[in-house]
A = this chain, B = another copy of it.
Amino acid sequence: MKLSAEKIVLLAKQLQIEELKHLAAMSQFVGVVGHLIHNLQAERGASGIFLASAGDRFADIRLELAAESESVERELRTAFEPQLKRAIYGNARLLHLMAWVLLGLDELPELRIRISEQKLTADDSIAAFSRLIAGLVSLIFEVADSTVDPRISSLLVAFFNLVQGKELAGRERAVGALSFASGICDDVHQQRILHLIDAQERHFQVFGEFIEEQLMAQWQEVQDASCIAQLERMRRMLCNARQTTALDANLSDKWFETCSERLTAIWSIQCTLVDRLEELCASLVNEAESDLQDSEGLLKALREHPPASAELADKFFNPAIPVENALSFVAHAGGEAGQRRSIVDVLQAQSQRLAGMETELVAARRALDERKTIERAKGILMARFNLSEDAAYKRLRNASMEQNRRLADVAEAVLTLAAVS
């Protein structure tokens, strides 16, 4: 078959279908990643209490949760395989994150032994689980970041922000539980909890911007649940605790339960979102397949009754369509009604679709870029002023409030300053 515009048009459409199928596989993949995160969060919370209580409490629960994590871990390892076979589609960064996560998973048994033998502080145990979970969350971010379909990208941005918000809520559960269990919540832990509360709300807000109404209603129910009032009361106790007065250690269970109730509710939203993602991918694949069939039919008809070259030239070189906007950047009006459709029309319709997709993609891309900016700015502050992550975040946050500017803008300013100084 001679290399022709027709051939490439069909190839481009086939490629899009391949990409969408790949995204469908990716959606399942991030679903499993989200599942493992959920299990590790529970294990982290229980391990923290176990260590803070010097092995007194949650000994059995911890082991049960570890067994559950191991089962989902096997599922994830299986899900990695086909990803590698399709590595050609992937990018080096995604593979890199997979290697990192796999390494962490390989070292989990060693971590669990140390926890069993109480060779670790509760804080270090929480940090260790959190590091592995951060790798898993980054995997989801990377998948969202490399997605070019705007509808799927939007849902992945929502998914990432939900999972990251939930992860911060999970860390809050762990830190709070061990504060109650140990009877004190010192300055460092208070600051951490404040940071965790603040950052999770930020992620949940972005999540809310990218979901459909139906899911929003479900999300509102989570926000209004009775456990939230309970949670807020205990948050207040933690954050206002005097360093000299002991916290009620018995509240540790209540705190853990309340947080868990909320996390379970968020988890159910997460499951709904994964279903939604898979449905969306399937329907987009169908749509693209029927579009390909239409185009094949049209082009076959055109081959049988080819238009005169003059007719095509008229369309292609139509001076009524401005040069710059003939393609790629701006959608423009198609051929006039009544005119016979031609390959030029197929291409122009496709231009319009691609331009539309690009425009829609902007919002999702921006949300992801803002996250990168904030993380980078935090890293710079940490390195430059030798700050903890919580303290770096607090600086950004304070500057944002004082100057009444968006957090992302303050972060951007930090990066600019770092680049010139």
Interface on A for B, CB 8 Å cutoff? 3-6, 8-9, 11-13, 15-16, 18-19, 77, 80-81, 84, 87-93, 95-100, 102-104, 106-107, 109-111, 114, 123-124, 127-128, 130-132, 134-135, 138, 141-142, 148, 309-310, 312-313, 316-317, 319, 321-330, 332, 343-344, 347, 350-351, 354, 358-359, 372, 375-376, 378-380, 382-383, 388-389
B91, B324, B344: which contacts A389 (Cβ < 8 A)?
B324
B138 touching A12, Cβ below 8 Å? no
What is the CA–CA distance of A18 and B91 in the complex, to the nearest angstrom?
11
Say which residue of B3, B128, B148, B382 sits within 8 Å of A84 (CB atoms).
B3
Q: Number of copies of this chain in the oligomer?
A: 2
A142–B104 alpha-carbon span in the complex (Å): 38
Q: Are A84 and B322 in contact (CB under 8 A)?
A: no
Q: Give the residue name and chain of the B residue nearest to A377 (CB).
A: B330
A323 and B130 contacting across the interface, CB-CB below 8 Å: yes
Report whether A325 and B15 are in contact in the complex, using a CB–CB cutoff of 8 Å.
Answer: no
A interface secondary structure, majority = helix
B102 and A328 within 8 A (CB): no
The answer to whether A330 touches B379, judged by C-beta atoms less than 8 angstroms apart, is yes
Question: Taking CB as reference atom, which chain B residue is nearest A312?
Answer: B107
* Contact partners of A382 in chain B: CB under 8 A: 322, 325
- Chain B residues with CB under 8 Å of A90's CB are 15
Cβ of B107 and Cβ of A11 under 8 Å apart? no
Our pick among B81, B87, B313, B388 for the contact of A107 (Cβ within 8 Å) is: B313
**8 tightest Cβ-Cβ pairs between the two chains A and B:** A330-B379, A12-B95, A128-B317, A8-B99, A329-B375, A5-B103, A110-B313, A107-B313
Bound CA span A130–B321, Å: 12
User: In this complex, what residue of B is CB-closest to A317?
Assistant: B128
Contacts of A123 in B (CB 8 A): 319
Q: Count chain B CB atoms within 10 A of each CB in A4, A96, A131 and give the residue with the most.
A: A96
- Return 7 A-B CB contacts under 8 Å, by A number: A3-B77, A99-B347, A106-B312, A124-B319, A127-B317, A138-B327, A330-B376
Tell me, in angstroms, the Cα distance from A89 to B329 when the chains sit together.
22
The answer to whether B128 and A319 have CB atoms under 8 Å apart is: yes
CA distance A84 to B379 in the complex (A): 42
A131 x B96 contact (CB < 8 A): no
Pairwise interchain contact A87-B309, C-beta atoms closer than 8 A: no
Partner of A328 from the list B93, B127, B351, B380 (CB cut-off 8 Å) is B93
Partner of A135, one of B132, B327, B389: B327
Interfacial chain B residues near A323, Cβ < 8 Å = 127, 130-131, 134, 389
A319 and B122 CA atoms in complex are apart in Å by 12
Chain B residue nearest to A393 (CB atoms) is B324
> A11-B95, A98-B8 are known contacts. Are A103 and B322 too (CB-CB below 8 A)?
no
